[in-house]
Structure 1
Amino acid sequence: MFINKNKSRRKILLYFICLSSSLLFICYYSIINIFQPFIPKVRIQSERKDPFKKIFISHYTTTYGKRTDSKSKIFNNNLENICALLDPEEYPYANAVFVSLIDLVHLPTLPSSNESYRKKYQSQFWLLHTEESPRKSYETVQLNDITDLDDWFNLTATLKPESDIHIQYNGYRIKPEIINFLEKKFNKTYPRTNFSQFILKKDFVEKTNSFYMKTLANVLSKEINLRQDYHANTCPYTCNTPLSNDLILYLQPYLKPRNFQMKNRNIVYIAWFVSNCNTHSNREEYVSKLRSQKGIQIDIFGFCSSLFNSRRLSERCRKGIPNCTLDILTKYRFYLSFENSKCDTYITEKYWINGLNQHAVPIVLGASREQYKRIAVPYSYIHVDDYQSVEQLAEELHRLNQNDSEYMKYLQWTQLYDVGSDYMPTILYDIHSTLCFLGHYQRLYEMEKVNQESKYLLELIRYLFSIKNITLKNFNWNTATTKLIKISDFYNPKVNCWDYDYPSIFKRIWNFFFIWTKLF
C-alpha cells in the first residue's frame, strides 16, 4: 500500500515536471520570440545572357519569414520583359534592394574593408517596408540605435501616408449607384475618371533602332492602358474621397432604415477578437475598465479570451471556418477595433476588415482622431479619444443602444461606400513594379545626354505614375535621384508613438501561465 502511494506520488511529480518543462519551453519561445534570423550570404552571380537589360530587384530579408527569390512570381507577364528578381544572396548585383523591417537583423557590411557598403553601392535603390507600427517593427533588428538606419534608404513603404508608397489594408469608394442617383434625381454632376486609349507615337516606333528602347516602349504602353482601364473601372468617381456633407443631406430621405431586433436594450453587447495579450497601447486595461461599467457586456474571442472571461463562450472561430468572424459579429452592436500600439496612422485590419463588417459599429483605439478622420470611412467608427473617460464612453454606448436612428448614423456608410482592397491608395503601384520603373527612369535619364529618344520614355514613366497622382515624395523626377532618409525621424517609436513601455517580462509570464492554466 505504502509502495503504491509512493509510485503514485512519483507519477504525479513526474507529470508535473514534464508539464512545467513543456510550459516553460513554450513560454520561452512565445514571449522572448527567439527564432533563426535570415541573413543572406553573398555569392557570385552567374553570368546572364539576356538581350534586354532588365532592372533587377533583390530581397535582402525575408518578408514575415517568407523567402522571395528568382523563382518567385511577382511581376505580370508584361513586366517580366523588363523586370526580374534576384536571389537574396545576389543583392550586391541588384539595381534595387527590398528590406522588410520586421525581418531585418542588420544591414550589410564589406568584409576586410574600411569602406562602407552604402558608399560603395551608392547607385542602388534601397526600400524600407513595414506594415507594423514603429513599436513592433524593430523587434529583430540588432542596432545600437535607430540612427544606425539613417542615410541608407531611398524610399519607404509604410502605413504612413507620407511614405513614398502608402500601404493601407483597404480603401473605399463612393458607390456608383449613389452617383447615378444624384445625377438623375438632383441633376448633380460628379467628376468621372476617364482615360483615352494610349497609343505610342508612330515616329518613335519608326525611328528608333534600339532594341532596349522599343521593348521598353511597348511594355510601358501596355502597362499604361492596363492601369488606366483598371483605375477607371475600380474608381470611376475617385477612391478614398468622401461625399460632401451637402450631398449626404440630399440623400438622407432616400436611405433605407434598418430594423434591429434586440432582446435587452439595457445591455450593450460588444465583441472583441484578440490574440496578443500584452500590448504597448495597454488596451487590456481599457477593456477591463469598460467591461466593469454597468450594462456593458464584452464577449472576448481568441487566444486571450481566457485572460478576461470568467465564462466559456459557446462560439469559437477556428482556422478553416469561412466567415466565422462575420457570423459572430452579426449578433453584436459594437466591435472593439483596438490596436496594439498608439502610433501615427497605425490603422490595421482590426478596423478595415473586422471593424467595417457592416453589422457591428467599430470602437477604435490606436491612431489619433485626426488621423482617423483623414484616412477612415467617414462616420463609420467611434473613437475612444472623443470621450474624456471610460464612463463617458459607456454612457454614449447606452444612448446609442436605446436610439436606433442615432446608432444607424454609424452604419449609414454601408449604403454610400464600397470597401475593399481594390480601392487602396497605391493598389496599382506595388513596391516591385515601382522599383523597376524607377530603375529604368534612372537609366534613361543618364542616356538622355546622348540619346534624345529617351526623353519620350521618361515622359511615359512619369505619366504612368500620374494616373493615380502618385508623387513618390522622396524621388526627384527632374534629377532622377532621392535623398537618403532619416529613419530615426520618419519611423521612430519615440517620435511617432505616444503609448506605454512594453509590459514587463514578469507580467507577460504571468499572463501566459494564466491563459494556459485556463485552457486545460
Structure 2
Amino acid sequence: MFINKNKSRRKLLLYFICLSSSLLFICYYSIINIFQPFIPKVRIRPERKDPFKKIFISHYTTTYGKRTDSKSKLFSNNLENICALLDPEEYPYANAVFVSLIDLVHLPTLPNTNESYRKKYQSQFWLLHTEESPRKSYETVQLNDITDLDDWFNLTATLKPESDIHIQYKGYRIKPEIISFLEKKLNKTYPRTNFSQFILKQDFFEKTNSSYMKTLANVLSHEINLRQDHYANACPYTCNTPLSNDLTVYLQPYLKPRNFQMKNRNIVYIAWFVSNCNTHSNREEYVSKLRSQKGIQIDVFGFCSSFFNSRRVSERCRKGIPNCTLDILTKYRFYLSFENSKCDTYITEKYWINGLNQHAVPIVLGASREQYKRIGVPYSYIHVDDYQSVEQLAEELHRLNQNDSEYMKYLQWTQLYDVGSDYMPTILYDIHSTLCFLGHYQRLYEMGKVNQESKYLLELIRYLFSIKNMTLKNFNWDTATTKIIKISDFYNPKVNCWDYDYPSIFKRIWNFFSIWTKLF
C-alpha cells in the first residue's frame, strides 16, 4: 500500500515537471517570437504596367511591432489614385521609406559590394519616425555609435516641433463661444479661418494628353477642399494659440466657479498611473520624497502598483474598462504626469490625455518649463521645476488644497479652451500623404521647367501644405530637394536629454526595496 502511494506521488510529480517544462518552453518561444526583430529581406518586385505612375512608400520596419505592407489601408480612396504602399521587402523600389526608430535593428547594406546603399539610392526619401524620447528610441538599434544614423535620413516625424512633421498627442483651440463673447463685449471682430471653395483651372488640362497630369490635378482639387473644410471647422480662430494675458484677466469675472466637496483639506490626494517602475528621469525617487511629506497621500495605479497589494487603493483599471482612468481621477485633486525621461519637448499622453482630464490638476515632470509653456495649454499644469525642492512643492499643494479660488486657476482652462486630436499641429495620417505629395512634387519639378501644367500643379501642392501651416523645415520648395539630417545632433540622448542612464540591476533592486515598498 505504501509502495503504491509512493508510485502515485512520483507519477504526479513527473506529470507536474513535464507540464511545467512544457509551459516554460511555450512561454520562452512565445517571448522569442514576440520580440524577434524584423529585418526585411529584399525581394525582386515584378514589373507592372500601371496606367498611373504612383508614388510608392515602404515601411522598412514594423511600427511598434505591427507590420505595414501593400495590404494595409492608410490612404483615403482619393489618395489611393496617386499613392500606394509596397511590402517592406520591396523598399529599394519605393520613392519614400518609413522607419520607426523604436523598431529599427540596422540600416540596409548592399551585398557583395563596398558601395553605400544610401549613395546608390540618393533620390529616396527616408523618414525617421518616433514617438518615444531619445532615451528610449534606440533600444533595439544595433549601432557602434549614434553617428551611424547620420547622413541617411532627410525627413523626421517626432515630438520635437523642429521636426518636418511635428507629432503631438493632442492640441487645443480657444472655445468659439469665448470668441463670440469677446466680440460682443468688446465690439471687436476676430479674424476667422475662411477659405473660398477651390475650383480647379480645367483649361490648363484641356489640351494635354497626360493622364498623369489630369489624375493628379483632380486628386489635388479634392484634397485641397477637404483639408480647407476640416481646418476651418476644427480651428475657426486658429489652433494652439493662447489668449493674451489681458483677455484672460478680462474674462475672470465671467467664468463660472466650481464647488469642491472635501472631507479633509489637511490631506492632499494625488493619483499616479505608472507601469514603468525604473526610469531615466528617476521619477520614482521624486515621488517617494514627495510622499514622505506631511499630509501628502499618493495612490498608485497601473503595473507598478501590483508589486504589493495596496489596501488603500482598492480600484484597478483593467483592460477593456471604458473611462476607468477618468472615473478614478474624479476623486483626486492632483495627478502626477511624470515622464520616464527628461528630454526636449518629450510631452506624452500622460499630460495630453490623462493630465488634461478636467478634474485633477496635473503635476508635470519631463520636458522643461519653457517647453511646456510653448506647447501646453496655458495655466493647466504645475511644473516641478518651478519649486526649488520637494518640500516647497508640498507646501504649494497644501496651499492650493486649502484655497479653492487659487486651485481653480489651474482648471479655468476648461472654460476657455477645447482639447482634442483635431487640433494637433499635424494629424498622424498626414505622414504618409506628405511623403506621397513630396514624391509627386519632385517628379513635377523635373517637368516644370518647360511645362505650364506641371508648374500649376507644383503651386497646388505648395498651397496644400500651407493650409495647416506645415513648413517641412528640411524640404527646399525652390529646388525640390532635402538636406541629409545629422541625427546625432537632432535626436541624441546625450544632446537632447538631461536625466540619468537607465538604472543598473543593483539600482533597480534598491528601488524595489527602498522606494516601491514605501509607496504602499
- Tell me if TM exceeds 0.5: yes
> Would you say the 8 A contact 2:170–2:424 is kept in 1?
yes
Q: In the TM superposition, what is the alpha-carbon distance from 1:452 to its structure 2 partner?
A: 2.8
Q: In the TM superposition, what is the alpha-carbon distance from 1:19 to its structure 2 partner?
A: 13
Alpha-carbon spacing, 1:270–1:314, altered in 2? closer, same or farther (3 Å) = same
> Would you say the 8 A contact 2:285–2:515 is kept in 1?
no
Q: In the TM superposition, what is the alpha-carbon distance from 1:447 to its structure 2 partner?
A: 0.9
Q: In the TM superposition, what is the alpha-carbon distance from 1:307 to its structure 2 partner?
A: 4.3
Q: In the TM superposition, what is the alpha-carbon distance from 1:50 to its structure 2 partner?
A: 1.3
CA distance in 1, matches of 2:422, 2:366: 24
> Would you say the 8 A contact 1:342–1:499 is kept in 2?
yes
Q: 1:394-433 deviations in whole A, cap 9, x for unaligned?
A: 0000000000000000000000000011100012761100
> Would you say the 8 A contact 2:53–2:82 is kept in 1?
yes
SS of the residue corresponding to residue 511 of structure 1 reads helix
> Would you say the 8 A contact 1:306–1:515 is kept in 2?
no
> Would you say the 8 A contact 1:98–1:127 is kept in 2?
yes
Alpha-carbon spacing, 1:308–1:477, altered in 2? closer, same or farther (3 Å) = farther
CA distance in 1, matches of 2:159, 2:270: 27
Percent sequence identity is 95
Alpha-carbon spacing, 1:8–1:277, altered in 2? closer, same or farther (3 Å) = farther
> Would you say the 8 A contact 1:135–1:497 is kept in 2?
yes
Q: 1:473-498 deviations in whole A, cap 9, x for unaligned?
A: 00000000000000000000000000
More moved, 452-461 vs 29-38: 29-38
Q: In the TM superposition, what is the alpha-carbon distance from 1:380 to its structure 2 partner?
A: 0.1
Q: 1:98-140 deviations in whole A, cap 9, x for unaligned?
A: 0000000000000001111000000000000000000000000
More moved, 16-25 vs 447-456: 16-25
CA distance in 2, matches of 1:506, 1:26: 30
Alpha-carbon spacing, 1:316–1:23, altered in 2? closer, same or farther (3 Å) = farther
Q: In the TM superposition, what is the alpha-carbon distance from 1:450 to its structure 2 partner?
A: 3.5
Alpha-carbon spacing, 1:8–1:171, altered in 2? closer, same or farther (3 Å) = farther
CA distance in 2, matches of 1:510, 1:22: 34
> Would you say the 8 A contact 2:288–2:519 is kept in 1?
no
Partner residue in 1 for 2:15: 15
Q: In the TM superposition, what is the alpha-carbon distance from 1:184 to its structure 2 partner?
A: 1.2
Partner residue in 2 for 1:43: 43
Q: In the TM superposition, what is the alpha-carbon distance from 1:358 to its structure 2 partner?
A: 0.2
Alpha-carbon spacing, 1:513–1:23, altered in 2? closer, same or farther (3 Å) = farther
CA distance in 2, matches of 1:231, 1:88: 33
CA distance in 1, matches of 2:337, 2:7: 52
SS of the residue corresponding to residue 304 of structure 1 reads helix
Partner residue in 2 for 1:284: 284
SS of the residue corresponding to residue 440 of structure 1 reads helix
Q: 1:217-265 deviations in whole A, cap 9, x for unaligned?
A: 1100110000000000000000000011111122111100000000000
SS of the residue corresponding to residue 10 of structure 1 reads helix
> Would you say the 8 A contact 1:272–1:299 is kept in 2?
yes
SS of the residue corresponding to residue 128 of structure 1 reads strand
Q: 1:298-350 deviations in whole A, cap 9, x for unaligned?
A: 00001101447753521111111110000000000000000000000000000
Partner residue in 2 for 1:360: 360
> Would you say the 8 A contact 2:351–2:362 is kept in 1?
yes
Q: In the TM superposition, what is the alpha-carbon distance from 1:187 to its structure 2 partner?
A: 1.4
Q: In the TM superposition, what is the alpha-carbon distance from 1:24 to its structure 2 partner?
A: 10
CA distance in 1, matches of 2:37, 2:260: 51
Q: In the TM superposition, what is the alpha-carbon distance from 1:12 to its structure 2 partner?
A: 13
> Would you say the 8 A contact 1:363–1:382 is kept in 2?
yes
CA distance in 1, matches of 2:78, 2:238: 26
More moved, 498-507 vs 105-114: 498-507
Q: In the TM superposition, what is the alpha-carbon distance from 1:20 to its structure 2 partner?
A: 11
SS of the residue corresponding to residue 364 of structure 2 reads strand
Q: In the TM superposition, what is the alpha-carbon distance from 1:201 to its structure 2 partner?
A: 1.3
Alignment of 1:392 with 2:392, yes or no, is yes
Partner residue in 1 for 2:190: 190
> Would you say the 8 A contact 1:59–1:98 is kept in 2?
yes
Q: In the TM superposition, what is the alpha-carbon distance from 1:18 to its structure 2 partner?
A: 11
> Would you say the 8 A contact 1:307–1:511 is kept in 2?
no
More moved, 147-156 vs 444-453: 444-453
Q: In the TM superposition, what is the alpha-carbon distance from 1:25 to its structure 2 partner?
A: 9.5
More moved, 204-213 vs 140-149: 204-213
SS of the residue corresponding to residue 272 of structure 1 reads strand
CA distance in 1, matches of 2:189, 2:420: 25
> Would you say the 8 A contact 1:334–1:361 is kept in 2?
yes
TM-score (norm 1): 0.93
Alpha-carbon spacing, 1:42–1:251, altered in 2? closer, same or farther (3 Å) = same
More moved, 44-53 vs 467-476: 44-53
Unpaired runs of 5+ residues, structure 2, are none
Alpha-carbon spacing, 1:12–1:297, altered in 2? closer, same or farther (3 Å) = farther
Coordinate RMSD, CA, aligned: 3.4
More moved, 351-360 vs 209-218: 209-218
Alpha-carbon spacing, 1:519–1:332, altered in 2? closer, same or farther (3 Å) = closer
> Would you say the 8 A contact 1:227–1:428 is kept in 2?
no
> Would you say the 8 A contact 1:31–1:508 is kept in 2?
no
Q: In the TM superposition, what is the alpha-carbon distance from 1:209 to its structure 2 partner?
A: 2.2
> Would you say the 8 A contact 1:307–1:514 is kept in 2?
no
